A and B are shown apart, each in its own frame.
Chain A
Amino acid sequence: DAKTTQPTSMDCAEGRAANLPCNHSTISGNEYVYWYRQIHSQGPQYIIHGLKNNETNEMASLIITEDRKSSTLILPHATLRDTAVYYCIVVSGTYKYIFGTGTRLKVLA
């Protein structure tokens, strides 16, 4: 499975867009990019996933570069409740989702 690299921490002003980057330069053609977040003392929560195309749902947008070596999760209007650790992972045909240490996003009032 491909490894991912994310910044350790980021701050974002409340109401602004939060853009969380992820590098996955060794991703292969059949591997999906997934994003999860974990709010303190809870289990990780699924946000969004994609293969090649950009994706959007009610929580976020996922932008994947054309070469698929990096992606960005966009929270369009961050709120204080979006403060969490965000994980970017890639998933192949195995059952192993390799979680790194993620990005700690702090939304500031």
Chain B
Amino acid sequence: DVKVTQSSRYLVKRTGEKVFLECVQDMDHENMFWYRQDPGLGLRLIYFSYDVKMKEKGDIPEGYSVSREKKERFSLILESASTNQTSMYLCASSFQTRVRDSPLHFGNGTRLTVT
């Protein structure tokens, strides 16, 4: 089975802190994604990456950056955390080949609280 592992289930950070959320997948997937999930808003795409060192902005990239130095690892960085970034963050991965026919596999999420 595909395993997507997010380093923390729960995080509490202070406003202004730099925050790193880590995600690792073990299936040699080319594509990796970061979403945030908020009540009533569904899942919203922050960034995705289709190869090492490659990244594309999603729908809500403001206040975030990403890093993909190795194929299996995709990091989300909050440069200066703010309270409106309190959310559930979900990482996902998929094969690049036939992207329309390749399911996303999600991790179990990191619930981040910024105080």
Residue numbers of A with Cβ under 8 A of B are 30-32, 34, 36, 41-46, 49, 51, 87, 91-93, 95-97, 99-102
Contacts and interface: CB of A to CB of B under 8 A. Distances in A.
Contacts of B105: 46
Nearest to A32: B100
B50 A95 contact: yes
Given A30-B100, A95-B99, A96-B58, A44 B45 contact: no
A46 B100 contact: no
B101 interface: yes
A31 to B, nearest CB: 7
B42 A46 contact: no
Nearest to B2: A46
A93 B103 contact: no
Contacts of A30: 100
Nearest to B58: A96
Contacts, number: 54
B33 interface: yes
**Contact residues of A: prevailing secondary structure:** loop
Interface string B87-115: 00010100000011101111111000000
A43 B105 CA distance: 9
Contact of B99 (A42, A44, A93, A99): A93
B74 interface: no
Interface in B43-99: 43, 45, 48, 50, 56, 58-59, 90, 92, 99
